[in-house]
Amino acid sequence: MITLTSRAVQKAITLAKKEGKPPVLRVGVKGGGCSGLSYVLDFVDDVRELDTVSELEGLTVICDPKSLEFVKELVLDFETNLLKSGWKFTNPKATKSCSCGESFSL
C-alpha cells in the first residue's frame, strides 16, 4: 500500500482537525498535470467497498483500486524547509515527474 512518514501522518491529522473533517485521507490520481497524471489528496467521510484501507497512527488512509495501480509503492512525506513546505511524493513506479513533484507518468 502507500507509506506515509510520521510527519505526513501528523500533518494530515492536523489539517483534518483544522478543516473539521474526519482523519480519513483518500489518496488517488487523476489525469492532468505537466507529466500526465496528478496526485490527489482529500479528506472524505466515506470508504467505498473496493477501497484499500490502512490505519496509521490515528489516520485512515484509503485508495481506490484504479489509483492503487499507480501509487502502490508511493511514499508520502511532508517537508518544511527554508524554501517551501508541502507534500513530497516519492513514487518508484514513476518514470518521469514534473519539477513541482505533483504530477508524474509511468
pLDDT per position as a tens digit, 14-41:
999 999 999 999 999 988 655 578 889 9
- Share of residues in the chain with pLDDT > 90 (%): 61
Maximal C-alpha separation, the chain: 42
pTM of the model: 0.84
pLDDT per position as a tens digit, 55-101:
999 999 999 999 999 899 999 999 988 888 899 989 888 765 655 55
Cell, residue 11: 500533518
**Helices and strands in the chain: count of H runs, count of E runs:** 2, 9
Instruction: Give me the pLDDT at residue 6, please.
Output: 96
Instruction: Give me the pLDDT at residue 16, please.
Output: 97
C-alpha 94/C-alpha 83 separation (Å) is 25
Instruction: Give me the pLDDT at residue 94, please.
Output: 75
Instruction: Give me the pLDDT at residue 58, please.
Output: 94
Give Cα separations from 44 to 15, 21, 23, 26 (angstroms): 13, 7, 8, 7
How crowded is residue 66: how many other Cβ atoms within 10 Å of its Cβ?
A: 10
Instruction: Give me the pLDDT at residue 101, please.
Output: 52
Instruction: Give me the pLDDT at residue 98, please.
Output: 52
Cell, residue 60: 485512515
pLDDT at 9 over 70: yes
Those residues whose C-beta lies under 8 Å from the C-beta of residue 49, and which sit 6 or more positions away, are none
